[in-house]
Amino acid sequence: MERLLEGHKKFLEKVFPERRDQFQLLSDRQAPLWLVITCSDSRVLPDLFLQTGPGDLFITRNAGNVVPITSHDVDGCTATIEYAIEVLRVRHAILCGHSDCGAMKAALDHTALENLPKAKRWLQHVEAAFCHRQPLNPADGASAELASLIRGNVVAQLMNLHAQPAVAKAVAEERLTVHGWYYDIMTGHIEEYNEREQRFEPLAT
């Protein structure tokens, strides 16, 4: 806790005073342009690798960057998606998976979930990833099989995202663009899924 307390002290003394006007503008409203759906993994920091700041990104996170498809349950991810699109009117929805994803490792090895019944149930949402595995990339080395499945999960969850009523409506009205990304922790690079060509390509920068 000492590290967190020191960090907050630094924020109050140095960061907040320099950005006071910005925080005051954001205190009673937000107008982000981008919704980011990504993994809970502590190494995945969209504001860092996209160099954004307060008020820019509307982020929802869960194990495996899942977009659940359910008919009766209420879950935080799809509720957040609905709010972002219908209330905040974001212009882009980004589904972002990442290298070395623990959730996808567990999907490959179910023995890791023997004592985690809730996680085991949650990861039923990623089973479709096996149907969308991507070609092995030699650049991924020993992690090529895992990376193939992680990219497959991006495709599967992207399909789930398109199936959300609020998303389908906004896309049809041409006020929302949907993206599928794979973020490589080791290199910092992002690949985007080209839905027309059905392949991952380096993100245009």
The per-residue pLDDT for range 130-167, each reduced to its tens digit, is 999 999 999 899 999 999 999 999 999 999 999 999 99
Domain membership of residue 22 as a residue range: 1-30
In a shared domain, residues 141 and 92: yes
| 187-196 pLDDT, tens digit each | 999 999 999 9
Distance CA 147, CA 27 (A): 40
In a shared domain, residues 77 and 125: yes
Band (71; pLDDT cuts 50, 70, 90): low
Q: Over range 127-131, report the average pLDDT.
A: 95
Distance CA 3, CA 16 (A): 18
In a shared domain, residues 105 and 131: yes
In a shared domain, residues 14 and 107: no
In a shared domain, residues 17 and 72: no
In a shared domain, residues 66 and 130: yes
Distance CA 89, CA 33 (A): 8
Q: Whose CA is closest to 133, among 168, 97, 167?
A: 97
- Helices 165-172 and 144-163, axial angle in degrees (round to 10): 80
Q: Are 68 and 128 in contact (CB under 8 A)?
A: no
Total domains in the chain come to: 2
Helix (H, G, I), strand (E, B) or coil at 36: strand
In a shared domain, residues 94 and 11: no
In a shared domain, residues 195 and 97: yes
In a shared domain, residues 24 and 58: no
Band (6; pLDDT cuts 50, 70, 90): very high
Band (66; pLDDT cuts 50, 70, 90): very high
Distance, C-alpha 58 to centroid of its chain: 11
CA distances in angstroms from 9 to 12, 18, 21, 55, 165, listed in the order given? 5, 14, 19, 22, 43
In a shared domain, residues 24 and 109: no
Q: Whose CA is closest to 107, among 145, 155, 70?
A: 145
In a shared domain, residues 95 and 127: yes
In a shared domain, residues 8 and 45: no
Q: What is the pLDDT of residue 171?
A: 98
Q: What is the pLDDT of residue 114?
A: 87
Band (205; pLDDT cuts 50, 70, 90): low
Domain of 147, CATH number, reads 3.40.1050.10
